[in-house]
Amino acid sequence: MANYLVTGGAGFIGSHLSEALVKRGHRVRVADNFSTGYRHNLRDGVELMAADLADPAAARRAVEGMDYVLHQAAIPSVPRSVLHPVESHRANVDATLNILVAARDAKVGRLVFAGSSSVYGDTPTLPKREDMPANPLSPYALHKQIGEQYARMFTRLYGLETVTTRYFNVFGPRQDPTSPYSGVISLFIKALLAGTAPIIHGDGGQTRDFTYVANVVDGVLRAAETPGVGGEIFNVATNGRVSLNELLAVLQKIIGTNATPVYQPARAGDVRDSQADISKAERLLGYRPTVGLEEGLRETVAWYRAANGTRPSS
Ligand code: UD1
C-alpha cells in the first residue's frame, strides 16, 4: 500500500484515477478547488482536501506524507485559455510549480504530470512522437509545455522523479458536458440524447486520437509505478484517428438518431490533426490501450443515459 495524492481528483480523469487506486488498496488523498471538479465525483474511501494549489502553503499541506503525486489539477480547456489566459495560467502553471516545489521538499517518490497532446500543435508529421518539437498554438498548450519542462527540470536539478503523460482527447463517464468548453464527445452525446443539433466547429474534417479514460488510468498508473522512467514523457492514447464527422456518425448509430449537425466557424487555437505514436509507452511501460473507440463510446453513452444526459453523477 502506498500514499497517493491526486490533485484535481474531483475532476473527470482524477476521479477515475482515485477510484482505481482505492480499488488497489492504496491510501488516496484528493486535493481539489472544485473549479472544474464536483464533489459527487469523489469515491468512497478518498480523503478530501479542499485546496487551491496556486497557494504554495496549500500545495505543501497537500503533499505531506505522500509517496506519489498524480498532478491532474488544471483548467483543461483550449478555448477557455484563449478567453482567460491569466486565470488558466494560474491554475495550470502557478499551481504546477507549487506542487513540484512541495513534492521536492517532501521527498515524494514520483510525480506524474498530466500533459497534453496540444503541445504538438500543428506539427505536420503524424503520428506525433514525444521527441518532436513542441509548437503550442494556445495558452493552454503553452501552459502544459511549461509544466512538463518544469517537471523534467526538477528531475535534473533536484532529483525529484517526474513523468509526464501526454493525454490525447480523453473521454468517458463523468466528463462534464455542461460547459461550452467541455470535451466534444460529451457535448455531442448530450445534444444527441436531448434531440438537439450538435455543433461542429469548422468543416468536421479535423481529426483526433480519442482515448477512453480506462486506457488513461492504466497508462498513468504504469507511469507512476514503472521503475527507471524518471524524467520521461509518454503519449497516452490509442494511435487511432477519426474526424469529427466520423465520430458523430458512430455516435448517431449508437444512440439511434440522425440529427443534422450545425456547422460553425473553426475555433481560434484549434489544431487540425492529432494522432499519437504510442510505441514509447508500449516499450517502456508495457502500456496497451485495451478499450477501443466504439466500445468506449458505448460505455460513455450508457453512463450519460443513466445520468440523464446532463448532470454528471456517479
Ligand atoms: C485539446 C487538446 C487536448 C486537451 C484538451 C483540453 C489538441 C489536439 N488536444 O483538445 O489534449 O486535453 O484540449 O480541452 O489540442 N468541437 C466541435 N464542437 C463542439 C466542441 C468542440 O466541433 O461542440 C471541436 C473543436 O473545435 C476541436 C474538436 O472538436 O476541433 C475537439 O475539441 P475539444 O474536445 O474541445 O478538444 P481539443 O481542443 O481537441
Cα–Cα distance measured from residue 51 to residue 158, given in angstroms and rounded to the nearest whole number: 25
Same domain (yes/no): 175, 218: no
In angstroms, the Cα distances linking 223 to 34, 233, 310 are 26, 9, 33
Helices (H), the chain: 12-23, 56-63, 78-83, 85-89, 95-105, 139-158, 184-194, 213-225, 244-255, 279-285, 293-306
Same domain (yes/no): 91, 10: yes
Could you tell me the three cell numbers for 107?
Answer: 521527498
Active-site pick, 140, 150, 287, 304: 140
Q: Residue 279 contacts by C-beta under 8 Å, 6 or more apart in sequence?
A: none
Could you tell me the three cell numbers for 194?
Answer: 436531448
- 310 pLDDT more than 50: no
Check residue 117 and report its DSSP letter: G
Query: 183 C-alpha to center of ligand 1: Å?
Result: 6
Amino acid 309: pLDDT: 43
Name the maximum alpha-carbon separation found in the chain. 55
Amino acid 268: pLDDT: 84
Provide residues with CB under 6 Å of ligand 1. Answer: 76-78, 116-118, 167-169, 183-184, 187, 199-201, 206, 208, 244, 267, 270-271, 274
Same domain (yes/no): 227, 188: no
Output the residue whose Cα is nearest ligand 1's atom 15: 118
Each residue's pLDDT tens digit, 94-106? 999 999 999 999 9
Residue 276 DSSP SS3: strand
Each residue's pLDDT tens digit, 4-62? 999 999 999 999 999 999 999 999 999 999 999 999 999 899 999 999 999 999 999 99
Q: Which atom of ligand 1 is nearest to the CA of 191?
A: 23
Domain that holds residue 180: 171-209+239-268+291-308
Check residue 8 and report its DSSP letter: T
Output the residue whose Cα is nearest ligand 1's atom 14: 77
Each residue's pLDDT tens digit, 140-182? 999 999 999 999 999 999 999 999 999 999 999 999 999 888 9
Q: Which H or E element spans position 11?
A: none
Cα–Cα distance measured from residue 77 to residue 179, given in angstroms and rounded to the nearest whole number: 10
- 87 pLDDT more than 80: yes
Query: 82 C-alpha to center of ligand 1: Å?
Result: 13
pLDDT band at 242 (very low <50, low <70, confident <90, very high): very high
Domain membership flag for residue 314? no
The best mutation among 143, 201, 243 to test binding of ligand 1, ranked by most ligand atoms within 8 Å of the C-beta, falls on 201
267: amino acid identity, one letter: R
* CATH number of the CATH domain containing 251: 3.90.25.10
| Residue 304 among the catalytic residues | no
Average pLDDT, the chain: 95
Same domain (yes/no): 221, 193: no
Q: Residue 205 contacts by C-beta under 8 Å, 6 or more apart in sequence?
A: 243, 244, 245
Report the domain count for the chain: 2
Comparing 133-137, 208-212, 308-312, the range with the smallest average pLDDT is 308-312
Each residue's pLDDT tens digit, 104-113? 999 999 999 9
Residue 110 DSSP SS3: strand
In terms of Cβ atoms closer than 10 Å to its own Cβ (0-12, 13-18, 19+), residue 122 is: exposed
The best mutation among 84, 169, 181, 271 to test binding of ligand 1, ranked by most ligand atoms within 8 Å of the C-beta, falls on 169
Same domain (yes/no): 15, 150: yes
Domain membership flag for residue 67? yes
Output the residue whose Cα is nearest ligand 1's atom 32: 184
Same domain (yes/no): 248, 137: no
> What percent of the chain shows pLDDT beyond 70?
98
Amino acid 13: pLDDT: 98
Cα–Cα distance measured from residue 51 to residue 69, given in angstroms and rounded to the nearest whole number: 15
Query: 155 C-alpha to center of ligand 1: Å?
Result: 30
Each residue's pLDDT tens digit, 288-307? 999 999 999 999 999 999 98
Output the residue whose Cα is nearest ligand 1's atom 21: 184
